[in-house]
Structure formats: structure tokens, C-alpha cells
Structure 1
Amino acid sequence: MNIEISGVFGLLILIADIWAILNIVQSRVSTVNKLIWIVVILLLPVLGLIIWWFAGPRDSSG
């Protein structure tokens, strides 16, 4: 079974990953945590994005 991500779906994943990485870099968590999250997203583009969405660093703005 060969799973291939290409075309518009691949472009959307790339844009979402870049957006997530920019949010991670701008967050106020430690540098080590930022690096870990970025590596997870780069190694697992789709799954890493989903994990970051639910468990990633959040700035408390309330």
C-alpha cells in the first residue's frame, strides 16, 4: 500500500505546517520545547500537526 500526498492536499499540509512552526517560534515556551515541537512537525507533517493542534504550547491570553 503506497500512500502519497500530492497536489492541493500536499500544498495545504505544507501551509499548515509552516503556520504551526511560526506559531511555535512565537510562543513563550522554552527553546527546548520549541525545538521538540518543530522536529515533530517536520518528521510527521500530518500527524505532528494534529498532535500540535491538541497538545501544543498555547499562550495564555486571558
Structure 2
Amino acid sequence: MDFLNITSLGAFALLVLDLWALVSVLGSTASTGQKVFWTLLILILPLLGFLIWLFVGPRSSARTV
């Protein structure tokens, strides 16, 4: 039973991290083609896609007031 709880927690954490990555990609100044590429990579390969995005992916543009 404890293993199931740990697995569920890990899956939830990965979901949150993937959502963060997707929001960052969509808010970036990257071209539409790059946004589509990164979005598909993160959706098709959640863990690997997130890790690749973390190191080389586009970032959200900084908002200034």
C-alpha cells in the first residue's frame, strides 16, 4: 500500500512539473514551430521531455511592469 502512495505522489509531481514546462513553453518567445515541437515532446515523453526542456528548452519571457 505504501508503494502505491509513493508512486502516486511521483506521478502527481511529474504532472505538475510537465504543466509548468508547458506553460513556460507557451509563454516563451519561441517560434510557433518550436512551441509545437516542445509541447509534443513533453506530452509524448513526460519525464524525458521535461528533463530535455529543463536543460535546453525555451523559457517564458520575463514580464516587466
Q: TM-score, normalised by structure 1?
A: 0.83
Are residues 1:40 and 2:41 paired?
Answer: yes
How much identity, in percent, do the aligned residues show? 39
Q: How many residues align?
A: 56
Q: Which residue of 2 aligns with 1:30?
A: 31
The whole-number CA distance in structure 1 between the counterparts of 2:20 and 2:60 is: 15
Listed as ranges, the gaps of 5+ residues in structure 1 are 1-5
Listed as ranges, the gaps of 5+ residues in structure 2 are 1-6
Q: Which has the higher helix share?
A: 2
Structure 1 residues 24 and 40 mapped into 2: Cα distance closer, same or farther (>3 Å)? same
TM alignment of 1:1-62, pairs within 5 A: 6-58=7-59
Q: TM-score, normalised by structure 2?
A: 0.79
Structure 1 residues 49 and 31 mapped into 2: Cα distance closer, same or farther (>3 Å)? same
